[in-house]
Amino acid sequence: MPTENIAHKLAELVKTTESKVLLIDQAHNLLSNLAKVTPPSAQEIQENYPFLSKILLECYPETSKKLEQKNLETLLVTLNMLEEINFAIPMAVIADTLTHQLTAWTTENTGFELLTNCTASSEIVGGVLISHAGHFLNLSLDKIIKEK
């Protein structure tokens, strides 16, 4: 599968920065285990790295027969290249619900190749702060009140 297709597939499956970090950690751990004298079996990989196993099978279907180190390395490089959009939300907001809504909105309106990163901020009473690729949008309640 070409790299651009892998990036698209990864962003579609991973969706959030939190999931990206988990996947990177699992990939690094698995790479370390593969270097051991007795590497883990396919079943051990599925049991110990369930999220990573799912992603590998989606991106590299041939890994069901044999996991290759180069696929893991390519996966890591591609993961690190995925862009993120950041949302700062009020601490009082139920983060999981809003994260899910913002992830869905990002996917529908910007495409799959943008991961969502939501962080709760005690500095925001209401609204949201959005940043992406050096651009920033302040939609906080504090700013709205100060402008009126």
pLDDT in tens, 86-134: 988 887 676 677 778 888 888 888 766 788 888 888 888 888 888 988 8
> Do the Cβ atoms of 134 and 103 come closer than 8 Å?
no
In angstroms, rounded to a whole number, what is the distance separating the alpha carbons of residues 23 and 66? 19
Closest CA to 24 of 1, 2, 55: 55
Q: What pLDDT, on the 0 to 100 scale, is given for residue 28?
A: 93
Closest CA to 15 of 132, 96, 112, 101: 112
Supply the angle between the helices 3-14 and 50-59 in degrees, to the nearest 10.
140
Task: Report how far apart, in Å, the C-alpha atoms of 58 and of each of 75, 103, 138 are.
Answer: 12, 20, 37
* Token digits of residue 4: 């651009």
pTM score, whole prediction: 0.76
Mean pLDDT of the residues in the chain:
84
Confidence category of residue 21, pLDDT binned at 50, 70, 90: very high
Share of the chain above pLDDT 90, in %: 8
